[in-house]
Amino acid sequence: MSSVDAQMGTWAGFFSRDELAEEVKKIPEFECVNVFTAKEDLFTHQSKFKAIVEKDHDEAISVVSDRYALVQTRDVFSLVLSYLKEDILGEIFYDRGRALLHVFLKDSDIGICVMNSVDRSSAINVFFIKKVNGTTVYLPPAYTGKISGYKRLHVGVPLNEVTNFSEILLDAPQAWGIIVEQLSKTPLTTDIVQEIKEVLGTKTLVELVDQFGNSNLGRFTGNRPSLWDLLLVVLKAASASKFKTPVHREKRLRELSTLLIALALKMS
């Protein structure tokens, strides 16, 4: 079963380098077509706009400026794979022009995410990621070292400023190690629980944090849970929620984990 078509849940379902290359070829190609407005029987060409459609299909997934440079996700992901020299495993998520490529060093739970869209929902972005019991945790861009804040709009040659993906992938474990060590050494307190609750957007997650805090802070324990423990509980619960597609789930995890980790590091 392809990761383009199904949610990946275990390492056993991940693809090798050659399999990833084949999966990339399955991602649709897109093109820009003219936009017309219809008023009664009159059709007017809107020269300042283009519609993005999948090749050989008519449904528009986005309307963009005529200056928009369409970057094929196939090209971006193929380029990334060509730069990686290590033994890797990976997965691909795709939905209506939005796609993510997750790549991990073989036998490692730490890797990188490259994302692209053709519907204007995002530019080309690169993140450090970590898999914890099947849940993806994303590191905020400010903490990604050599790819800090990398965001490429759809102009020029994609990723022409980033070619050292092997080096970036090898740097990921060190970056994650620093973060996890710092947050794991930060004991959970009532004040931290309260601050986490204030940034969560759903009642379910707030109640989960309350429950976790009440269960662990109300009694003496020689191994008081850490701030990292709390973040993982929240992210695992968020990952288990129902989403329209795996792409929507990863978007939620990306937004939530980067927000929580950035906040947690300020409190640690």
Provide DSSP, 168-216: HHHHHHHHHHHHHHHHHTSB--HHHHHHHHHH---HHHHHHHHHHHHHH
Q: What is the pTM of this model?
A: 0.86
- Do 153 and 186 share a structural domain? no
**Domain-embedded: residue 1:** no
Q: Which of 102, 80, 103, 106 is nearest to 160 (CA)?
A: 80
145-161 confidence digits (pLDDT tens):
555 444 554 444 556 66
Cβ within 8 Å of residue 234, ≥6 positions away: 196, 200, 205, 208, 209, 256, 260
Mean of the per-residue pLDDT values for the chain?
A: 86
Angle at 264 between CA 201 and CA 236, to 5 degrees: 55
Tell me, yes or no, whether 5 lies in a domain.
Answer: no
Does residue 151 share a domain with residue 76?
yes
Same domain, 168 and 209: no
Please tell me the total count of domains within the chain.
3
Domain that holds residue 167: 11-27+70-172
Q: What is the pLDDT of residues 220-254, one digit of tens each?
A: 555 778 999 999 999 999 999 999 999 999 999 99
Mean pLDDT (whole number) for 31-45: 93
Least confident piece of the model among 36-40, 119-123, 247-251: 119-123
Residue 260 and residue 203 in one domain: yes
Asked if 92 and 164 sit in the same domain, the reply is yes
Residue 3 in domain = no
Residue 51 maps to a domain: yes
Same domain, 79 and 39: no
